[in-house]
Structure 1
Amino acid sequence: MLIITIKQGKEKGLLAGDPWIYVSAVEKVEGKPQERNRPGATAIVQSSSRQFLARAAYNAKSQIAARVWTLREDEPVDHAMIKRRVQAAVLRRADALRSADPQALVQLIDGEKDGLPGLLVHSYGGTGGYLICQFNAGGVDLWKVPVVQALLKATGCPNVYERCDAMLRKGEGLPATARALAGDEPPQRLTVREGGRLVPMDIRTGFTYPR
């Protein structure tokens, strides 16, 4: 596993709850070259005095050098953790999902707020509709399979589509991909409720058609 040592004094933001560690805060990164070059590889973050601070997803290709998974030394970053966090996020929004207009895009996962840095998930059409995912950071991209497995189980929705923000993914050193990850791809044009109006939209990209 990689070890990231933070410069003296730079751990204050991390301990205050900031989930991002910038390149400027990193003193050194130790570990095998293939791990250091793999976007999203799990790393232990330690202070300059070698005290444990966090477990994080490291990305040498991003200005955000690491995104924190957990501040707990006894919490491993594994399939179980990813699935647990996806399930918890969906459960928190279960009431909103049940009461939502079926034509609305409902946010199910909101990145760092749900302990899944860089992951955005929206639901359209309820259990028979589509889940639209954005994997905007190396860490969640590396754990894409358990994320999708957990979404399928937690929502009952069989259709999961990956939306691609090419600029964000390029900044993370990730390929620009957009594709169905499970089930069917959404149609190119659907009607989406935004506030009090219905808008024709390609939910695969977020593009809104002129009316």
Structure 2
Amino acid sequence: MLTITIKQGKEKSILAGEPWIYLSAIDKVEGKPAERNKQGVTATVQSSSRQFLARAAYNAKSQIAARVWTLREDEPVDHALIKRRVQTAVERRLDMWRSADPQALVQLVDAEQDGLPGLLVHGYGGAEGYLVCQFNAAGVDLWKVPVVQALLKATGCPNVYERCDELVRKAEGLPITRRTLAGEEPPSRLSVREGSRLLPMDIRTGFTYPR
């Protein structure tokens, strides 16, 4: 496992709950070269006095060099953690999704707020509709399979599509990908409710058609 040592004094923001660790806050990264070059790999974060601070997803290609998974030394970052956090995030919003207009895009996972840095998930059309995911950081991109598995189980929705924010993924050094991850691809044109209006939209890209 990689070890990230933070510059003296920079640990305060991490201990206060800041989920991002910028490149400028890092003193050194220790570990095998293959691990240091693997985007999203889990690293142990320590202070300049070698005190444990966090476990985080490391990405040498991003200005946000690490994104915190956990501040607990006894909490491993594994399939179980990822699936548990997806389940918790969805359960928190499941009633809202079920009671919402089927034509609304409802957010089911909200990145750092749900302990899943960089992951955004919206649902459309209820349990028989579509889930649209954005993997906007290397850490969640590396855990894509358990994320999708957990979404399928938590929502009962069979269709999962990966949407891509090109600027964000380029900033992370990640490839540009748009694809079906489970079930069927959404149609290129659907009616999406925003407030009192129905807008023709491609939920795969967020593009709204002129009316």
TM-score range, shorter chain: over 0.9
The alpha carbon displacement at 1:146 in A equals: 0.2
Matched, 1:180 2:180: yes
1:64-103 deviations in whole A, cap 9, x for unaligned?
0100000000000000000000000000001111110000
Matched, 1:196 2:196: yes
Aligned residue for 2:40?
40
- Please report the TM-score for the alignment, with normalisation by the length of structure 2: 0.99
What SS class does the counterpart of residue 177 from structure 1 fall into? coil
Q: CA RMSD in A?
A: 0.4
Q: Give the 4+ runs in structure 1 shifted more than 3 A.
A: none
Superposed, 1:142-161 pairs within 5 Å as 142-161=142-161
Distance 1:81 1:195 in 2: 35
Distance 1:123 1:66 in 2: 28
Distance 1:199 1:41 in 2: 40
Aligned residue for 1:114?
114
Distance 1:167 1:59 in 2: 16
Letter in 2 for 1:143: W
What SS class does the counterpart of residue 185 from structure 2 fall into? coil
Matched, 1:25 2:36: no
Superposed, 1:128-147 pairs within 5 Å as 128-147=128-147
Q: Any unmatched runs of 5+ in structure 2?
A: none
1:112-171 deviations in whole A, cap 9, x for unaligned?
000000000000001100000000000000000000000000000000000011111111
The alpha carbon displacement at 1:189 in A equals: 0.1
Q: Any unmatched runs of 5+ in structure 1?
A: none
Superposed, 1:67-82 pairs within 5 Å as 67-82=67-82
Letter in 1 for 2:84: R
Letter in 1 for 2:210: P
Distance 1:195 1:31 in 2: 50
- Please report the TM-score for the alignment, with normalisation by the length of structure 1: 0.99
The alpha carbon displacement at 1:41 in A equals: 0.4
Aligned residue for 2:206?
206
Letter in 2 for 1:90: V
Identical-pair percentage: 82
Letter in 2 for 1:71: L
Question: How many equivalent residue pairs?
Answer: 211
Aligned residue for 1:5?
5
The alpha carbon displacement at 1:205 in A equals: 0.1
Aligned residue for 2:63?
63
Distance 2:101 2:112 in 1: 26
Matched, 1:88 2:99: no
Superposed, 1:164-179 pairs within 5 Å as 164-179=164-179
